[in-house]
Every structure is written in C-alpha cells, then in structure tokens.
Structure 1
C-alpha cells in the first residue's frame, strides 16, 4: 500500500487540483465533465501504460522521474491543451493567437476545425502505432502468447523491412479507400487522400527516426558497458556515462511520441463530451497523470516480469487501435468500443499469465520430487 500511495501521490494531488480548477472555472457541472474525461483517458490508455512500462524499465530512476515530471508537462499542456490548438492553427491557416481566441470564443467552429483535421491526425497516429505493433509481432521471442499466430509471424519477420512495407501498403489502401470517400467540409476527395498519405508517411518516418536513434544509442551503450567490464578506465567511463544520457534521452523522446500517438483518440473523443479546451485539458490531464503513475508502478512492482503475456496483450491492443484510427478516417467508432477492445485484450493476456504461473507452480513440486528420487 505504501508503494501504491508513493507512486500515485502526484496523480492524487493533480486530481484534487484539476477538479478544484474545474469547479472554479465552470461550476459543479464542469467538475462532472472533468471527471468523465479523466475516466475516458484512463480507459483508453491502459494499454499505453503497459507498453510504456516495457520501455521505461530500461531507464534508471532519474529518467523515470523525468518521465513523471517533465513528461507529464508535455503530456498535459502539450498534447491535451496545445495540440488541438496547433492543429487548428495549421489546418485553418491561423496564427496561434487567433487559434486560441477561436477556441475560447467560438467553440463550435473550433470543434469543427479539429474534426476536419481528424483524417490527418488519425493517419499519423495510426501509422506510428501500427509500426509498433508490427515490429513487436515480427520479432522472434522466447515467450510467446498466441503461439499458433506468433511463431509463423516471427519467421516472416526475418524478411528485411517487412513491417515498413506492410504499413505503407495499409496506408496506400486507406488513402484511396477510406480517405477518398470520407465526409469533408471543403476540398476535394483527392486533397483528402493526399493529406492522409502525407500524414501517414510522416507518422512512419517519425517512428523510424525516433525508434532508430533510441535503438542505436541503446546498442552503443551495451557495447560500451561490455568494454568497460574488460578494462575500466576513467576516460572510457565518462564516455559510457555520456552515451547512457543520449540513449536515455532518445528513449524518453520515443516514449513522448508514443504517448502522443495514444492520446489522439482521447483528444478527438473528448469533443463528444465537451468542446471547451480548458475542461478538456483538465480532464485528459488528470487521466494522463494516472496513466504515467501506473506505468512507473508496473515497472517498480515488476508486474511485466510476473505476468509475462501482459506486454503481448498491450501490443495487440495497439494494433487494434491503429486499425481503428485508420477506419475512423471515414467511419465514426464509439470510444466505448475502442476502450473495450483494449481492456478485453489486456484482460485476456493477464488471465493467460495467471494460468501460466499456476501451471508452473504446480509443476515445480513434481519436478523437485522426481529429482529427489533420482538422487543415489
């Protein structure tokens, strides 16, 4: 209980401040809206916490603290407050001041502009998340959850650049099917298809650049640590320390882009509840704080090591979310469906992990007894 309170203390404090700010801003009705948005964000982003935990456990306590402090500021004020305004400013060709003024004075027009920008947002986030899922599913792993599916896919994963080729194929099909028939306010269908295509390529490029740099510095760090183990010299130690900083920085950057991609559906879905950017930032910010605290809790408790299929379930949920984002370019999908897909997949993987642990525990006494019998 002490660990739980210590890990979530900032989330609890942010909840109290956020709800209080909501009451001061819009009365008791605003408090209810903020609370609903917080629950929405947590329900849509639980898989985000599991995936983040798999990355964050590679980082030391300092960078975990950075993830909970600086990272939260980026998540709350960057993605939940500034991002919708930036999107409106870019798509409507407004300067930032006019975009903020529009968000505060003409909320219906502001909501419409964000809705019009949804195909570009969905294409970028969908491609980024799809690459995460494909790279995971094509990797040969010692522990496999759905072996009938993961074994053949792991063999296919030996083909170079297969994930990128599949993602580009999905993007091309989407841009000339869903995007070409999407409802729009102004512009031609060809413009919409081009927007989706360019945004999707940007999402793919972002994943390759950020993920590639993070992986590069992690590999360099491992090489330096091996060399330091053989001959610990002062200069080399400083080099390894600097490299660790670069590796951690790019891993942190990767986590921020990952969080941004996960937040797209929450930000867009929030407009079904309110088009007030202040209430939206408060509610989604509270939810983001809980998701990040949960990420750190999973790391410190070693939950992913105890329940080995959780990471698999989260990545399958990522794949489902990527598909849903691409489909929403043309069709509207209720956020309840999106949230339930993630919850079901993660719940299934958790239950599979529990069954695996019970089976291993039941097999240990039998193994011990057999070894005892063989002792002369």
Structure 2
C-alpha cells in the first residue's frame, strides 16, 4: 500500500487534514496502520498509534453490541417500549411511548438526530414507520441499558468490550491519561475547536479511542465473537432502507428509499456488497469504518479535521475494494 502511504503523508503535510490515524484488516488479520500529521493546535507533536481521537458516532455500533449481549442474557427486550423499561424521556409526547430498543438501533424511532435549539424533544413520525438517523434516541436506550444491568454505560463498555478486546486507550468518559496524547479538532479552514472532555458516557458519541483499538473491535465483530450465531445474523440483517437526499435525517419523509443502503441494528449496511459501515461527525473531527463480511477486509480512520471523510475516495479502493454506495449516500466530497 505504498501509494496509500504516500497519499496520506502528502495530505497531512499539505494541510487540509492536520492529523490522521488509520488501521486496517486484511482477510481478518491485522494489516498496516498509518499515522500522519500533528495532534492539533494545542500540541504540535506527531500523531502516533496511541493518539486518542473523538470517535463520535462510531460509538453507536459498540453500544449496539452491548445491547445485543444484554438481550441474549434476557435483561433487555429489544421489542419492549423504553417507557416501560425506564420511564418517561420525551415529555408530553405519548407517541414516544411506543419506541423500543429495536427502533433506536435501526434509526426508526421518529426522534430527531439533534434537538433543535429552543425546541423540545419530540417524535416526528410513528416509531417504525421509516428510517431517519436519530442520535437523540440513544440517550433513552442508554438509560434502559443502565437500568436493566445496574451498571453505568462506561462500566458495561469496559467489562464487555474494552477489557476483553484489549482496547487499552479507549473510554466513553474522558480520562486524565488521555491528556498526554490526544488530538484536537479543526474545522474546514483549520480553525481549532476547543477540546471537549466528556465527563459522563453518551451512547450517541462520547467514545475516545485510537484507530488501533477500534480496528480490534471490528476484528472481534468479523470473527463473530461475543454473540451467538443467531444474534450475529440478526445484527446484520437489513431492517430498513435509508432515504435518499442531502442528509441521513429525514423527519418529514419526503425522500424516497435508497435501494442500495440499509440499516441493521447499529450498523449501516451495503447489502449487495456484504459490507457494514458507520461514520462519525463531531465538531472538528471525522471518523469512518467499513468492513466486508466476506473478504474480512476492513478499515477505520480518525481525522482531526472536518474534511476527514473526504479521504474515502482514495482510502477505500486501497483497503476494502469494491463498490460502496454508502459514500454516495453520505454525499462525501473530494479533497
């Protein structure tokens, strides 16, 4: 992958993306890792294998993995209303009482991605009606998981994911030890973003991790570890097609279904290609993961730049070959 190495080195050196970290799997085994650029305006040191990035929504597949384990153990009923499990979450909205963990994981809850400023959280359509990417629903799912397990989400993640897989540089809560080697986000014109340090776990996107740690999670997933075969297949069964348009969120329902991209229980899916994916978007940070269940090839990258997803057009052909309709669906531009 000499050409990829040169591309990433040149991209970081020329400035559009100050720093990036990338890890790969080839046929299920660990492939090359790449680390280029600087950690941020706060620290001009080089990005290395231990540099911690904000994973943003790449948190969600990890939370889904834990939720499915709890379901296997009879603790969490994926089809029981969250209202019945842990009480009210959306004040004054009786329709929300229908929302289940299944709806949250498949992004069919009817809740928005983010709560608009100055407006209350509410449902926009009947749960289960259609796809609309909804991060706000994951807070309710988190509460239900903590209720049925008697453990915080951070403890669940440490016990069930970080420790078993060996993700030593990962946490859903900010760790003081991350201060020594972490990335700082940058917006489109390299404006630095003040570092956010999540003091409590958020199921929608508080994961701090490294590319090396996260590819270990993906390797665990591809090897079908941690879940029964039946649950594993349920995890990756297409539940609903995404919607065409300029955003993953579609609260009004004006956009037609996308025939090439679907959603399972926590992962985006390219069904024809047998691939699963997810993207992450925090202020000044971008992340992406994609894996092929047949070839067992995978890639994950983190970038401390709002331009970070634009690596996809060069990175994916070099790491997980094939057609990837998720890139067009996400409207990912070029560098």
Same fold by TM (over 0.5)?
Answer: no
Higher strand share: 2
Structure possessing the higher radius of gyration over alpha carbons: 1
Larger relative helix fraction: 1
